[in-house]
Amino acid sequence: MEITVEKSKEELSRLIADEIISLVKTKPSCVLGLATGSSPILVYKYLIEAYKAKKVSFKHVKTFNLDEYINYKEYKDSYHYFMDHNLFDYIDLERNNIHFPNPEKPEEYDKDILKAGIDLQLLGIGADGHIGFNEPNTSFDSITNITTLTKQTIKDNARFFKSIEDVPTHAVTMGLKTILSAKEIILIATGSNKKDAISKLLKGEDISCPASILNRHSNVTLYLDNEAAKDIHQNNN
């Protein structure tokens, strides 16, 4: 596993955006796995800037988002909306090439993903080590499924909603096995509330830390700021 540590989220996001842009340039019809949450927002901003500066086109790119809430109150609370407003509305991605898991038939998503083959999967990480919405103790063999959010995740994600009561309790998410099918995986984590999850991830496979499944993959890079990376030296010594 590669680890890149930078001082700021801006620097990390710039590096990740550059990597995505270089992939899209060498393979214009590449397949990207995308994440929501605050971690990737700047990456998306830099992709939009590059598109506006005519440095890259997403015309032939396909995307598969990691997850979506179920029974959200308003469209504004959905990850569809989040992606539209942080990326999709501002670049030339074709609407037909955008994919989200369908809670009515989650397993179909895995078939679609295996057929398309994700070239690069972008991930954030929850404070409890979740990736997508795969909460602690999810089977490492899971495929796209419907999941119940933990109290901690509901609390952590409440900042995106009017009140904590509005946070949906369920979501549909790519499974851990689905995520691992990507050819390359990039995980971004910033801030001290992520340091325990990162430290646990690096201690080896442990189903209480879903992100630790990444130890099984041969092409993973963690992009961390100093705060998220604070405890990793202790592990590596």
Task: Based on the residue annotation, tell me whether 217 is a catalytic residue of this protein.
Answer: no
Of the candidate residues 12, 66, 87, 185, the single one contacting ligand GLP (CB under 6 A): 66
Is residue 124 involved in binding ligand GLP (CB under 6 A)?
A: yes
Is residue 67 involved in binding ligand GLP (CB under 6 A)?
A: yes
Is residue 65 involved in binding ligand GLP (CB under 6 A)?
A: no
Task: Based on the residue annotation, tell me whether 60 is a catalytic residue of this protein.
Answer: no
Task: Specify the residue, 39 or 212, whose C-beta has the smaller distance to ligand GLP.
Answer: 39
Is residue 37 involved in binding ligand GLP (CB under 6 A)?
A: yes
Of the candidate residues 125, 198, 214, 229, the single one contacting ligand GLP (CB under 6 A): 125
Task: Specify the residue, 51 or 133, whose C-beta has the smaller distance to ligand GLP.
Answer: 133
- What's the CA gap between 73 and 81, in Å, rounded? 13
Long-range pairs for 149-156 at CB < 8 Å and ≥24 separation? 152/126, 152/127, 152/128, 153/126, 153/128, 156/126, 156/127
- What's the CA gap between 81 and 99, in Å, rounded? 13
CB 221 within 8 A of CB 1: yes
Give the Cβ contact number of residue 203 at 10 Å: 11
Which residue of the set 119, 135, 156, 225 is catalytic?
A: 135
CB 120 within 8 A of CB 40: no
The contact set with ligand GLP (CB under 6 A) reads: 35-39, 66-67, 124-126, 132-133, 153, 157
